Amino acid sequence: MNEDHKTKAAGEDPQDLIPKLFKAEYSNLVAVLCNFYGFKNIQQAEDIVSEAFIQAMKTWSHKGIPDNPKAWLRKVATNKSTDYYRRNKLQNEKIFPNYKSQISGEVQAPVFNESVIQDSQLKTIFAVCHPALSIDSQICLALRILSGFNIDEIATALLSNKESINKKLYRGKKKLKEINPDIDLLDGSDLGDRIDGVLRILYLIFNEGYYRTQAEQAISQDLCWEAMRLALMLTQQKSTNLARVHALIALMCFHASRLNSRIGAEGQLLLLDQQDRSHWDSNLITKGQQYLNQSARGARVSKYHLEAAIAYWHTTDSEDKWNNVLRLYNKLLQLEYSPYTALNRTFAYAKSHSPEKALKEALKLKLDDHHLYHSLIAELYHMIGDKKKQIKHLDQAIGLASNPHEIELLNQKKKDLHR
């Protein structure tokens, strides 16, 4: 990476280089500063790093890009941070004679090297995914601090607006300032529980990107890759290299293998059986299998294990596929109920037993006000061959759906029936 920037840097325009460098380095710099001076100073860390980038922009545009822009940024960030904390310490000691500085003795400078960066990033994952913060704040902070997304990008990625994202970031940082979490990566006992919170956030970020229709496809894919990158980071440290982390990575690999085949020509989301399997990424499927195998060494079966196994069976054409998928959905629902899982389980039930029996199961779900429920019932009637009832439920689904792409998909199904 370093060499890469060195060779490219010389002829490049700072206007082009800085955004790229920002993506790569912003999170590294902030993570190291936060770990060095404490997470309560997360805002200061962000300000210092932003200032370093502004200074780079100014200096490089008239002096040219330095040989090693990364090292330049790290140096400037180091100087700015030591300046800041020295000044801060001095001020406080003068104004409040009894003030005990948080930093005893001389203000030290943080060190930047690959192992410090890796360690800091990992600790930062745990800090921003702290359970004291709201889920929304955790997601926004993760994208901002860990992935270097700017506010506009976060707003686009999460289908939100700048004001709302800023608010969530502000609240999250305020909370971090209050609790000033001390993350000890070597203390596995504490991490054991906390890691579930981290995995949940990474899972949400991934899904946020995965279940997006055509709008802003590029950025939604970025969400998926970022979630995977962060999950892989957890495997780098012994205490966080757990079976359920591998299960989540496996799940992400299987889903990501279909990222490019799940959107149709008109931008609509395609169902698994409508997708062109030859476009599935076989490398990612193989990777998924490897991680799924590794995840089996754990004693506990997490929901990620079950979901990854379901996603695995969907990559196969095995005769026993639907029986296995149903078994896994039965288990998954016992672990955690969700209406989506209940509907998917009923579809698997139809495939494994019969659509008639599945219909009886579906009627017990009491999800009549959900458009996906009626889509499912319509599908079951389709399998049974009752066109009239199929249309009736398609109409009910169309009436309840709010996403224009889903409505389009349902209307298309109805049109196909009249052919």
Partner 1 sequence: MKDFMMLFHSVPNMEYQPTPEEIKAEIDLWQDWIGGIAAQGKFKSTNALGYQGKTMHSDGTITDGPYAEMKEIVGGYLICTTETIEEALELSKGCPALAQGGKVEVRDVMIFED
Q: Residues in the site for partner 1, rule: CB under 8 A?
A: 323, 326-327, 329-331, 333-334, 337, 341-342, 345-346, 349, 353, 361, 364-366
Nearest distance from C-beta of residue 343 to partner 1, angstroms: 9
Sequence-distant (≥ 6) Cβ neighbours of residue 262 within 8 angstroms: 269, 270, 275
Q: Are 76 and 56 in contact (CB under 8 A)?
A: yes
Q: Which is nearer to partner 1, 98 or 334 (by Cβ)?
A: 334
Nearest distance from C-beta of residue 314 to partner 1, angstroms: 18
Q: Which is nearer to partner 1, 204 or 333 (by Cβ)?
A: 333
Nearest distance from C-beta of residue 311 to partner 1, angstroms: 18
Nearest distance from C-beta of residue 351 to partner 1, angstroms: 13
Nearest distance from C-beta of residue 333 to partner 1, angstroms: 4
Q: Which is nearer to partner 1, 326 or 401 (by Cβ)?
A: 326
The residue type of 296 is A
Nearest distance from C-beta of residue 345 to partner 1, angstroms: 5
Q: Which is nearer to partner 1, 366 or 387 (by Cβ)?
A: 366
Q: Which is nearer to partner 1, 45 or 325 (by Cβ)?
A: 325
Q: Which is nearer to partner 1, 170 or 337 (by Cβ)?
A: 337
Residue 164: alpha-carbon gap to chain centroid: 19
Q: Which is nearer to partner 1, 35 or 346 (by Cβ)?
A: 346
Maximum C-alpha span of the chain? 86
Nearest distance from C-beta of residue 269 to partner 1, angstroms: 23
**Two structure tokens written together for 188:** 């596995």
The three state secondary structure string of the chain is CHHHHHHHHCCCCHHHHHHHHHHHHHHHHHHHHHHHHCHHHHHHHHHHHHHHHHHHHHHHHHHCCCCCHHHHHHHHHHHHHHHHHHHHHHHHHHHCCCCCCCCCCCCCCCCCCHHHHHHHHHHHHHHHCCCCCCHHHHHHHHHHHHCCCCHHHHHHHCCCCHHHHHHHHHHHHHHHHHHCCCCCCCCHHHHHHHHHHHHHHHHHHHHHHHCCCCCCHHHHHHHHHHHHHHHHHHCCCHHHCCHHHHHHHHHHHHHHCCCCCCECCCCCECCHHHCCHHHCCHHHHHHHHHHHHHHCCCCCCCHHHHHHHHHHHHCCCCCCHHHHHHHHHHHHHHHCCCHHHHHHHHHHHHHHCCHHHHHHHHHCCCCCCCHHHHHHHHHHHHHHCCHHHHHHHHHHHHHHCCCHHHHHHHHHHHHHHHC
Q: Which is nearer to partner 1, 279 or 366 (by Cβ)?
A: 366
Nearest distance from C-beta of residue 349 to partner 1, angstroms: 7
Sequence-distant (≥ 6) Cβ neighbours of residue 57 within 8 angstroms: 14, 18
Q: Which is nearer to partner 1, 186 or 299 (by Cβ)?
A: 299
Nearest distance from C-beta of residue 406 to partner 1, angstroms: 22
Q: Which is nearer to partner 1, 170 or 340 (by Cβ)?
A: 340
* Residue owning tokens 């082009």: 16
Nearest distance from C-beta of residue 303 to partner 1, angstroms: 13
